[in-house]
Amino acid sequence: MKILFLDQSGKPGGAELCLIDIAKPYRDNCLVGLFADGDFKTLLEKNQIPVQVLTTQIIQVRKESSFAQGLASLEQLIPLLTKVVQTAREYDLIYANTQKALVVGAIASFLSGRPLVYHLHDILSPEHFSQTNRRIAVTAANRASLVIANSQASKAAFIEAGGRADITTVIYNGFDPQNYQTDKSIIHQTRQQLGLENKFVVGHFSRLAPWKGQHILIEALKQCPQQVTAILVGDALFGEQEYVQKLHQQIASLGLENRVKFLGFRSDIPQLMSACDLVAHTSTAAEPFGRVIVEAMLCGKPVIAAKAGGAIELVEHGINGFLSTPGKSQELAQMITTCLQEPEKTAMIANHAQTTASQRFDVKNINQQIAQQLLKKL
């Protein structure tokens, strides 16, 4: 089976990291076509996955774009479409991994006669997408042979928006548990380097954006005991620098300068997670899946997740983690404090989560599920 994977991003986000794992088994018979150059291309090359940047023009359409803004981008799309159609004829199917890739892939599928598979990594809700973008995404996806949703929450939102239930299946993201095993000496060294000795460290791992809720964690931190410290791993994307400035202002106004560390974008996520005592997920809107939640579990760390979207499918409160009401900093602070004060119970929950997540989200099983679905569509 020869697959042409398409992805709009030059930067490695959750959807892109997922694509790496999906593409690995096909590295001798696939190509990942990107709509932008960047670190994601480098990561694919490191994993020996064939990759090609198909356009050098930035497609000026975002999730909140209007119909007029979408029309204005058509001129940019024509050369890219031509390239994708030509390339697609050398492959058995087109696998679109992002929304812009879906639109291009749907047209290329029609013109090349190759079946289209769409991997849905988003919740198509008004909080995240304009009405125009939702309509375009659903119309394009309904032309696919298969839609793979990354959670029941993503599937439900897709169908509610007009998506076809008969072509949609849920397959969770896969992970290699071995990648999340970190030696104790490295954990100690990491904490030492970051000046986190004798601290109770709460880690937050995501891009810095209002809906990711870093400000909620900072509010909660003020209500926690003094030894509770937070590290924010990630950076601003898509013009969200203003939010980063607001976070710094919030920290200063609360007098938390010595209790919050900004680490920026990092590639050593498993090591940093393993150096934490707790991982917090604080999204204010429903998360499609919640990659960070599973990664924390695989690192053997307790996780507090916002009770919405895909997170509810991953976390069973008090069994393999904790669920907190989105946006409620006081509730989050109470849970963090409880984890600090009840280390044995918290460790037992984290250990259970690690065991079950290693089985439930093993990348070998997930890739097998995807391969079975793809074979049905050829």
Q: 60 and 32, same structural domain?
A: yes
pLDDT at 73 (0 to 100): 56
pLDDT at 62 (0 to 100): 52
Q: 341 and 227, same structural domain?
A: yes
Evaluate if residue 22 carries a pLDDT over 70: yes
- Chain segment 254-285, per-residue pLDDT in tens: 999 999 999 998 989 999 999 999 999 999 99
pLDDT at 308 (0 to 100): 96
pLDDT at 357 (0 to 100): 97
Evaluate if residue 372 carries a pLDDT over 60: yes
Q: 337 and 320, same structural domain?
A: yes
CA of 223: how far to CAs of 208, 333, 342, in Å?
A: 22, 6, 17
Q: 350 and 257, same structural domain?
A: yes
Q: 367 and 351, same structural domain?
A: no
Q: How confident is the model at residue 66 (pLDDT cuts 50, 70, 90)?
A: very low
Q: 247 and 116, same structural domain?
A: no
The CATH number given to whatever domain includes residue 244 is 3.40.50.2000
CA of 233: how far to CAs of 202, 246, 267, 280, 342, in Å?
A: 11, 16, 10, 11, 26
Q: Provide the domain count of the chain.
A: 2
Q: 94-111 burial, b if ≥16 CB within 10 A, otherwise e?
A: bbbbbbbbbbbbbbbbee
pLDDT at 68 (0 to 100): 43
Residue length of the chain: 378
> Structural domain of residue 228, as residue ranges?
177-360
- pLDDT, the chain, mean: 93
pLDDT at 75 (0 to 100): 63
Q: 327 and 181, same structural domain?
A: yes
CA Rg value for the chain: 21
Q: 356 and 240, same structural domain?
A: yes
- Chain segment 228-241, per-residue pLDDT in tens: 999 999 998 767 88
Q: 237 and 134, same structural domain?
A: no
- CB of 28 within 8 A of CB of 11? no
Q: What percent of the chain has pLDDT over 70?
A: 94
- CB of 49 within 8 A of CB of 32? yes
Q: 235 and 307, same structural domain?
A: yes
- CB of 215 within 8 A of CB of 247? yes
pLDDT mean over 321-338:
98
pLDDT mean over 201-224:
97
Coil, strand or helix at 148: strand
- CB of 15 within 8 A of CB of 21? no
Q: Which residue has the higher pLDDT, 71 or 50?
A: 50
- Chain segment 122-164, per-residue pLDDT in tens: 999 887 788 888 999 999 999 999 999 999 999 999 999 999 9
Evaluate if residue 65 carries a pLDDT over 60: no
Q: 163 and 246, same structural domain?
A: no
Q: 188 and 169, same structural domain?
A: no
Q: What tokens were used for 208?
A: 């810095």
